Every structure is written in structure tokens, then in C-alpha cells.
Chains A and B, each alone.
Chain A
Amino acid sequence: MDKPNIVLTGFMGTGKTTVGKKIAQQLAYDFVDTDELIQERAGKTVPEIFQEMGEIAFREMEAAVARELAGMQGIVISTGGRLMLDPGNAAALSSTGRVFCLVATPEEILERVTNDPDVERPLLTVQNPMERIVELMQQRQEGYGQFSQMVTSEKTPDVVTKNLVGIFQSNPDQRVPIMGAGKRYEYIVGGGLLPFVKNLAGITGPVAVITDTNTGPLYAQSCGPVDMVIEVPPGQQHKTLTVVQSICEELIEKGFDRSGTIIGLGGSVISGLAGFVAAVYMRGVDLVHCPTSLLAMVDTSIGGKAGINLPQGKNLVGAFKQPTAVIADVATLQSLSPEEFSSGMAEVIKHSLIDDAALFARIESGSWAREAGTLVPPLADLQALVAQAIQVKIRIVQEDPFDQGRRNVLNLGHTFAHAIEQVCKHTIRHGEAVAMGLVAAANLSARLGHSSPSLQERLEPVLADAGLPNRIPAHIDLPQVYEAMRRDKKAASGRIRFILFRTIGDVFVTDAVTQAQVLETLADIRE
């Protein structure tokens, strides 16, 4: 489509009409306000329609208008406060346009509404409008939460317009095609994609969402109407055959059959679990990954590996299961804790080191640290970062769909990391251990003369900026780390395989490393 529409939604008084007109002017688009269009056609004001014909009649008019406008292009559509909360309207309008939800504080909304003498607000003709606004906002929080959010508080309409036009022009949903085991599918990354997951992934049959009890309450409803939501307890310790069994039981009980699609909604644990269930339930049903953590987006949702843990070790059981689509909604990253975000950044940095020096430079020049409750990097930057990072892994797994060679380079830093995690009995997070492992790989590469010592110097501040460590804690016993590396399942006939650097973006596999060299490196980067 040449000129996708822009659809503005949000609570009354967030500036949909004001900002919408300004955007239309800048882009040379037409402007439509759905309430005004309905009033014009009915020859009545919205309050009159409510009063004389009832709310149901009004909602029907809205639905007709939504369908009609979805068939047009090159328009900015300012929607009535509840229009986009209807899944049918939302699906129609988002199929031909990008949706943004404008948000403001209740105080500001009240002020804007009170100061606008032109419009009557039937919902607010109550004794205590402030209370009413807060109540309505709470009711609609979930519905509005489906869309890309744009904060308008303390911003002039011109600033909001500039931001929106910027996102719209620079940052459409990015689609990266993937070939996995002879099948083509798309990895789609964008802001506010979850409500359209069924459309984007081309799902027609029944849908079962598999998620965890942390993620489910936040986002399961955003996926639109689905046939069942199965929530499992969060965490690695639940990535087990027992949980697989209980999921399958629930699927059977609810009559889920081979025509269905499983949506894995969550982080890495859910990617592994949902992938495994989709691989084995009735010998395989369709799978769509909706990763909600940075780690799952840039790593576990790509490559078709699905796995569960046994009491004796992680990922000892699994399958290769290619999804029919991966839909990464970067808006979900807002709910990640800073630690989880950093963990994901460790893999992003790793990807850049393996095969994309330009991505490394992008990370180096950006600001990626997070404080609790905030998302410092703007969504548009995150989306661009994810889109670039996934391409590294996609390139590599496409060359090696069944993990028989080239994929080894994805283990950069991981030979060290797994050993460190094991020795400290998993008290260090995976992302932190990977960060230490990346520094170790840089150190070892320089020690062996494969790369320049400046690489480690350049890497360390980048890790620190992402909230990651670059030293091994003093209490870790180094000979034990070496021993754990030697026992790793990837050690071919007792020789440890290392991924080492030539330079940033260029790595290779080798086992020509002595025990002494490894121990020297470990000692060198210990706190």
C-alpha cells in the first residue's frame, strides 16, 4: 500500500482531533473524525444519538464507518474513544493503517475537556467528573494497552505531531523472511502488534495461547479473541515434561485438534515449552512465537529449537520446530525488569560481535541502560535494534537449520558462560554470565594473537552501559570453571571448542587452546 492510514485512538481529551489534523496537514493526508462523520450522516449530535437511538445503534454506526474507512488510504482517522476497543473495528482499521493510542494523565484530560466548549461529553455529565475519568480509564486500560502508546502529557500538539510523524515515516513494522527447514516464514517486529497476531500470522483455525502466570495477565487478552489461554508457572524450573503433560491434557480436554495453532506468548522458557508442545502434540500443530522478552526476541524464538529440562540438566530433551511466524511486539518490553532487559542485551551484543560490526557501533553510540519502571530507549530505537539483531541469528541458522556446524558461532562467550553458571550454581543470571564469557573470549583471542587487545577495551564499556558485568566475581573457583567447560555436552571428544575473535563482526571456531591459556584468561578478568 502506498499511503497507509494513521489511526488515532485513546481517551477523550488526549488530543486525537487536534493532533490528527496537524498530522494530516504535514503528510498531505485527508482527515476524518469518526464522531463527526457519524453526526454528519445521522443529522444528530452524538449525545442525541445516544439519547434517541441508544448506544447499540451508535456502536453499529461506528462499525460501519470503521469498515468503510479501512477500505480507503491516505487518511488520518481520529476515532471515537471506544471505537478501537471493539476487536472487529480494530482488526479492520489496522489492516490498512497504523494505530497509535494517545495517552495523558486524568488531570490533564479533565483540564482539556473542561476548556473545550465546542464538544459535549455525555459520559462525563456526572457529579464528579474526575472520579469518572479515572474509573473509565481503568476500564479501558487493557483495551488501549494493545496499541502503540504515545504520551501527550506536558507536550504541545506540535511536539506530539512531530513525534508521531517521525515514527510513522521512519519506522514501519519490519518484516524479515526466514527459511527454516524448507519452509518460509516471516519474523515481524513492531510496536503494538499483538492485537493483530492472528492476521499477521495468517491464523484461521482455533488458537491456544500458552503463556506464564506473569505474562498472561498482561498480554493474553491483547492477542484478540482466542479459544483458550493456558497459563503455566513462570521460570526455568517449570520447563519440564510434567508441565508439557499438563498442557497437553488441557488441550485434549478442550478439544484442540490439528487444525489449531499454538501461540507461545512469553520469554525464553515459554518459547521452549510452547515450541515443544507444538512439536509433539498430535505429532505437530502450527506454532507462532510471540516473544515478550528481549532475550526471546533476539535469540530463543529464532532457529526452531524447542526444548525442556530434565532433573539432570537443561535442554536435554527437545525438538526442531519451525514456527509459521514470529511476531515480536516491542511494546511488551516495557514490562521487563531491568535485569531481564540487560540479559537480552547480552545476546544482542553477542550477535553484533559475531556478524555485524555496524550493529555493535549502533549499540555503542546508544543508551540502553534501564531504570525500574521506565523504558529509556524509545520503542522506535528498540524496534530497530531488535530488527537488526535478529538478522544475525537468522542468517546463521538459515545456513545451518539442524545445528550441524555454522551455528557453533552463536555460542560465542557461551562456553565460558555455561561453566560459570554451573560453578556458581546458577546464582549468576545467564545474561551476566554471557557478558563475562564475551569478555573472556575477547581476552583469550588477544592472548592467542588472533585479535587486538583493544577489542576487550571497546567491549567492556558497552557491556557496562547495558547494565552487564565484565569481570568474573572473585568467589568463583577458576579451575572448577575449566573443569565444567571440559565436561560440557558440546565438547567434542574431550576437546573444548572456543569461538574466538579476529575482530568485531568476525569470529571463528577453534579447539587449539591450552588449559594454561584458558586459566590465564580467567585469572586476568577476575574481579
Chain B
Amino acid sequence: MKQLQIQGASGPSTILVGEQLKNLSDYLPNRTPVIITDENVGQRYAEQFPAGHVITIGSGEGIKTLETISRIYSELVAIEADRACSIVGIGGGIVCDMAGFVASTYLRGLHFGFVATTLLAQVDASVGGKNGVNFGGYKNMVGTFNQPEFVLCDLDMLHSLPETQLQSGFAEIVKHAAIADAGMFAALENDADKALALDRRVIERLVYDSLVIKSTIVNQDEKETGERRKLNFGHTFGHAIEKVTGVPHGQAVSVGMVLAAGLSQQRGLITPRENDRLCGLLEQLNLPTRITFDKGAVLEALGKDKKRENENVHFVLLNGLGRSVITEISLAELRRFQGL
């Protein structure tokens, strides 16, 4: 097991990579856990949960709404949950986003932690303290920043994940390497097959390295104004493509990274060879590098992305593999971009 300490705005947070769900109660001293989970995780793992009330929500992005939050509040009131309770979200990003929002707002905030059960949640959702629900057709429109006290990443649980779920995780892992760590990128090129086979040693290393990169960036920038935007590499196009085509998040981000790399190459920030290496790695990990979509619709969605400020779109480009820069690109320039 590897441990990582990060400093959230509200206190320290411990990430436990390789710890097991059955040891969860060790991290809840003197607290009554209230578990929030989804149907899938609940059915498969309930017998490993510590004793405590379990709130089960449905699954899928569609339940990430204020209505579901409202239902969870009601259940908390019904069981008289008070400040002596700890909320534990056990599940993927959706469960963690909602558990984090509930825990940040119910009684103005309870203690809380996560058991991240998907690769994406382990490398992405567990650090950064973002939570929230979708709203009015936009993702994470309502939420807060609040880092959980602990995140337990049980690697054994990854084996039950469907292919698209793993893809989402791998896309984020590639992203982290591409924006910040050339060494990790090269290692991943060598170990791609073992990674796909969920080799325990390789996955533990990848999850840990990803978390170090993300937490370093997040710590430099608690509120997503500057440095943190780097984590949006591939996501500006990714979110728009996901919205327009409905392809899974990981695939959309993968294509988004390829497009951003194309823009980087066009500006002379990376060589064609580096661009090929990025595409090659994505292919090794069974991620798509292109996809057909309605260009106009994607640009339209991109202009409405919540991160827009005035006319320019903040865009993350690579500056060599393992380095990245934040720049502003006008919608007009994106419209002219041939790679699209």
C-alpha cells in the first residue's frame, strides 16, 4: 500500500492506494458511518461495508441532480444523522461527487471520506475536493470545493469494472503523464499491456503517480484560477464531444487530448514525433484517437462550457511531452483549426 498526504483547504487528507474496503472502519474512529453508494457497488460489496446506515442511490450521470441530493438529505434527517456522523461515499465519481456535496452542506458540513471504486475516481475524483451535481444541462453546475478526510483506493475492486470505465481512468492517467511527467509517460509506454491487465504493481504505481501530479497542481491553486486549469488538458474538447456525441467520458477525453495535441503541434509547441507518441500510447491503451462528430455542434457546446470567460476559451496545450501551458484561444481560431 502507498499513502499520500495532501493538504486541503479544510484540513489534511490521506489517500490510501491499495488499501482494502474491508479495513474501512479503521479510518472511522469514534464516528458513526453513514454510507452513500449506488446499486451496483451496493449489491456486489455490501457485506464488506462497516456497520452503519446505507443510503443507496441509482446509477448513471442522470441521477446526479439536486432531487437526488434532496432525497439523501431527507434520509439523513430521518435517521437523525448529526455532526457525530461521518459520511462515506463508496463508489465511482458520481457517488463521490454527490456524497461530497451532501457532506459539505448537510448541517453545514460533516466529516467525510470516500472509497473510490473505479479507476477514474481513484486517479481523478478523489483529489481536488470538487463535488457537485449537474444542472440545467450543464455538468457540475452546483457544488462546492471540499476535500475528504481520506480516500481509500481498493485496487481489487477494479477487476469488476466494465471496459469503458477502465478507459476513462486510463485517459486521465495519460493526461497526468502528458501534462507533467515525461518519465511516467515513458514508463507507461513500456507497461501499457500490464496496465491493461490490471497488474497490481503497475496500477498501484500509476494511480499513485497520477495522484502526486494532480495533488501537486491542486495544492498550488486551491480554487482553479491558474495552474489547476492544466488538469483540463483534453477536457475542453472532451466535454463538448461527450455532450454532443454521448460517447463515454474516457473516449471523449482521449479524442480531446489528440485535438489539443494537434493545436500544440500547429503552434510549434510539440514535434510531430511527440504527437505520434501520444496517439500511439492512447491506442496501446485501447483508447480512440478520432471520432466522427458534428463540428459546429461541438464548437457551440464548447462556447457554452462553464469555464468560458468572455470570448476566449482557456485552453491547455502541451509544451513538449510532460509539460503544458495554459493559453487563451478565440472561438474563431478554433473554428479555423484544420484538425477538427
Contacts and interface: CB of A to CB of B under 8 A. Distances in A.
Interface string B64-79: 0010011001100100
Contacts of A150: none
Given A257-B309, A283-B145, A317-B108, 9 more contacts: A252-B138, A252-B141, A280-B105, A280-B132, A283-B132, A316-B107, A317-B73, A317-B107, A319-B109
Contact of B142 (A248, A259, A313, A318): A248
Contacts of B143: 280, 283
Given A312-B74, A316-B73, A281 B142 contact: yes
Interface in B225-258: none
A284 B136 contact: no
A284 B141 contact: no
Interface string A271-305: 00000000111111000000000000000000001
Contact of B141 (A248, A315, A319): A248
Given A318-B108, A319-B104, A319-B109, A489 B82 contact: yes
Interface in B6-60: 10
B229 to A, nearest CB: 12
Contacts of B107: 316-318, 489
A287 to B, nearest CB: 13
Contacts of B140: 283
Contacts of A259: 309
6 contacts: A280-B142, A280-B144, A282-B306, A316-B73, A402-B10, A489-B82
Interface residues of B, number: 31
Given A252-B136, A279-B144, A313 B77 contact: yes
Contacts of A489: 82, 107
B205 interface: no
Given A283-B132, A489-B107, A241 B82 contact: no
Interface of B: 10, 66, 69-70, 73-74, 77, 82, 101, 104-109, 130, 132, 135-136, 138, 140-145, 223, 306-309
Interface in A111-149: none
A58 B189 CA distance: 74
Interface of A: 241, 244-245, 248-249, 252-253, 257-259, 279-284, 305, 307, 310-313, 315-320, 402-403, 489
Contact of A284 (B70, B144, B306): B144
Contact of B108 (A283, A311, A312, A320): A320
Given A280-B132, A312-B74, A319 B66 contact: no
Chain A contact surface mostly: mixed
Contact of B66 (A245, A313, A402): A245
The 3 closest A-B CB pairs, nearest first, are A318-B108, A312-B77, A252-B136
B105 A318 contact: yes
Contact of B309 (A252, A258, A310, A402): A258
Contacts of B74: 310-312
A319 B145 CA distance: 11
A111 to B, nearest CB: 55
A509 to B, nearest CB: 17
B130 A241 contact: no
Contact of A249 (B73, B106, B136, B306): B136
Given A258-B309, A283-B140, A284-B144, A319 B108 contact: yes
Contacts of B130: 283
Contact of B135 (A252, A313, A315, A402): A252
Nearest to A307: B108
A241 B70 contact: yes
B7 to A, nearest CB: 13
Contacts of B70: 241
B283 to A, nearest CB: 35
A248 B143 CA distance: 11
A248 B135 contact: yes
A402 B306 CA distance: 30
Nearest to A317: B105
A320 B107 CA distance: 11
B100 to A, nearest CB: 11
Contacts of B309: 257-259
Nearest to B10: A402
A363 B143 CA distance: 43
B135 to A, nearest CB: 6
A310 B73 contact: yes
Contacts of A245: 66, 135
Contacts of B145: 283-284
A402 B9 CA distance: 12
B109 A282 contact: no
A403 B109 CA distance: 11
Nearest to B146: A319
A319 B308 contact: no
Contacts of A281: 141-142
A253 to B, nearest CB: 8
Given A252-B138, A312-B77, A317 B106 contact: yes
Contacts of B144: 279-280, 283-284, 319
Contacts of B141: 248, 252, 281-282
Contacts of B109: 319-320
Nearest to A282: B306
B106 A316 contact: yes
B269 to A, nearest CB: 27
A252 B137 CA distance: 10
A281 B145 CA distance: 11
Given A280-B144, A282-B141, A283-B132, A319 B105 contact: yes
Nearest to B129: A283
Contacts of A252: 135-136, 138, 141
A257 B308 contact: yes
A310 B108 contact: no
B13 to A, nearest CB: 16
A259 B308 CA distance: 10
Contacts of B82: 489
Contacts of A315: 108
Nearest to B66: A245
Contacts of B308: 257
A315 B106 CA distance: 9
A368 to B, nearest CB: 32
B183 to A, nearest CB: 32
A45 to B, nearest CB: 47
Nearest to B223: A284
A512 B301 CA distance: 62
Contacts of A403: 108
A282 B307 CA distance: 9
A403 B73 CA distance: 21
Contacts of A319: 104-105, 108-109, 144
Nearest to A319: B105
Contacts of B69: 241
Nearest to A311: B74
A248 to B, nearest CB: 6
Nearest to B82: A489
Contacts of A313: 77
